[in-house]
Amino acid sequence: MKFKAIIHIMPRPEILDPQGKATLHGLHNLGFSQVEQVRIGKQVEITVEADDAESARASLEEACRKLLANPVIEQFRFELTEA
């Protein structure tokens, strides 16, 4: 079975996000003064072959921890759908 996952990876709330801060300043400079906070993360779309949803979920968890996210400074969650 084929599964499609959308993985959301964001900097942990207690971690400073310099990319978000820079973008916030950029938006203010462009006149978007009503923007108050910006945090920037990654979105990864993955297609994976697995026997069932449970094993797809397990290998995605491992892939996130080993390569896609840095668990020290980032948190991740994903949505899994059958493709």
- Residues contributing to the site for a copy of itself (CB under 8 A): 2, 8-10, 20, 23, 26-27, 30, 32, 34-50, 59, 62-63, 66-68
| 29 burial level (CB within 10 Å; 0-12, 13-18, 19+) | exposed
Minimal distance in Å, beta carbon 72 to a copy of itself? 18
How far apart (Å, rounded) are the C-alpha atoms in residues 8 and 45? 9
Other CB atoms closer than 10 Å to residue 11's CB: what's the count?
19
Q: Which is nearer to a copy of itself, 34 or 72 (CB)?
A: 34
Nearer to a copy of itself, 35 or 72 (CB): 35
